[in-house]
Amino acid sequence: MLNEYSWLDKSLDTIHRANWYRSVKEISGLPGAVVELEGRSVINFASNDYLGLAAHPRLIDAAVAATKKFGTGSTGSRLLSGHRKLHRQLERAIASLKQTEDALVFSSGYLANLGIIAAVVGKKDLILGDQYNHSSLKNGARLSQATAIDYLHCDMADLAQKLQEYRANYRRCLITTDSVFSMDGDLVPLPELLSLATKYEAMVLVDEAHATGVMGATGAGCVEYFNCSNRELIQIGTLSKALGSLGGYVAGKANLIDFLRNRSATWIYTTGLSPADTAAALAAIAIIQDEPERREQLWQNVAYLKQQLSSEDLLPSESPIICLKLNSPETALSKSQQLQEAGIFAPAIRPPTVPISRIRLSVMATHQRQHLETLVKKLRIDH
Ligand SMILES: Cc1ncc(COP(=O)(O)O)c(C=O)c1O
């Protein structure tokens, strides 16, 4: 019988026919370079746990101790219900890693992007965003009600042309970009972008989700990698990837952070980060600062894999995200399935997330040489 919800089955049918249907695979045991996937041990190239911290005893112990001391939940919005010393310790640690005046933690990176963009620009303003920006940046732009225009991926000539054409018609302008592009692995040309921003009086929001803990001499991210730590900008990121926890953050000048505490709806009207997540992220930052050898190992693994794989099969990447180009969603799905049968967990990424279907491999510091060799061997056989 047809009713007002019948469109759901029709829509699902269309998604299936296009090979765009997504389902979740169950893993068991601790996260790591090897995981139990659907009852079988596989080498894991599907996680963003770049430094292998999500199962690190220091993070687990910190989370357990914080839970025992402060309970499981934060019980309310920080403004209404108060916060723990831990929350400010984490914010100070992020600010110190990023060399900014202050930082603010959100319940996720997605919420940080939504709430910060919607707070700093509005109807009278302009957002210019990279066409390959993460969904949270794009939806933040929608929520803000600013005029949002995409520029071509990492194309500074196109950004310059759009600034020239539109900037003067708006009050404030915000340029938004991933720093490491999450589904491609390439980097924003940050110094050129910042020069354009200065010339056209635009603010810059850079999403360091995949760069924090990974890029730069101390793991602070791409802003550090490009020697731009002294520039005034809005740095966003997540605690859920190299930091092995859950949550998001913004780092920047003290007045920006103070303004956001007063104006960012996704921070004001939501429950504070749990004690366990906060303590785990704090422990992760300490490890990032104490153990640079983890980052060095990660980059050695990245270099080895890139050297072993044929560059014409790969999308351009300067990060631990390495993508194998494939010509259709079906090929991507069947390649991912073949890899899984060979004991390798690597997801197919398809439209509408990306324009070109691909297998996305994310390298970890804790991958052993033998894990990488197994992957290379399997990909060479298939070639
Ligand atoms: C570039 C980018 N920004 C933001 C996010 C959202 O972060 P979170 O998972 O903490 O919500 C992600 C991924 O999840 C991402 O890849």
What CATH number corresponds to the domain at position 209?
A: 3.40.640.10
Residue 19 exposure: Cα atoms within 13 Å on the Cβ side: 12
Task: Give nearest CA residue, ligand 1 atom 16.
Answer: 182
Asked, for residue 301, whether it belongs to a domain, the answer is yes
**Tens of pLDDT, residues 162-171:** 999 999 999 9
CATH of the domain at 354: 3.90.1150.10
- Say if residue 364's pLDDT is above 90: yes
Strands 203-207 and 147-151, by their bridges, are unpaired
- Say if residue 381's pLDDT is above 80: no
Do 194 and 327 lie in one domain? The reply is no
**Tens of pLDDT, residues 100-124:** 999 999 999 999 999 999 999 999 9
Asked, for residue 128, whether it belongs to a domain, the answer is yes
- Say if residue 382's pLDDT is above 80: no
Do 236 and 341 lie in one domain? The reply is no
Domain boundary among 269, 290, 311: 290
**Tens of pLDDT, residues 324-356:** 999 998 999 999 999 999 999 999 998 888 988
Q: What is the pLDDT of residue 18?
A: 86
Mean pLDDT of 189-218: 98
Do 252 and 173 lie in one domain? The reply is yes
Do 120 and 180 lie in one domain? The reply is yes
Mean pLDDT of 20-39: 91
Cα dihedral 371→375→381→383 (10° resolution) = -160
Do 101 and 171 lie in one domain? The reply is yes
Asked, for residue 133, whether it belongs to a domain, the answer is yes
Asked, for residue 6, whether it belongs to a domain, the answer is no
Ligand 1 pocket member 134 (CB < 6 A):
yes
Question: What sign does the dihedral 125-126-129-133 (CA atoms) show?
Answer: positive
Whole-number Å distance between alpha carbons of 283 and 287: 6
Cβ-contact 297, 168 below 8 angstroms: no
Domain membership of residue 31 as a residue range: 26-55+291-382
Do 70 and 171 lie in one domain? The reply is yes
Ligand 1 centroid from CA 5, angstroms: 31
Residue 156, token pair as written in the block: 């500074």
In the set 56, 87, 138, 241, the catalytic residue is 241
Domain boundary among 236, 269, 290: 290
Q: What is the pLDDT of residue 158?
A: 98
b/e code 39-49 from CB counts within 10 Å (16+ = b): eeebbbbbbbb
Residue 172, token pair as written in the block: 């404030």
Give the count of domains, the chain: 2
Whole-number Å distance between alpha carbons of 159 and 128: 8
Do 79 and 192 lie in one domain? The reply is yes
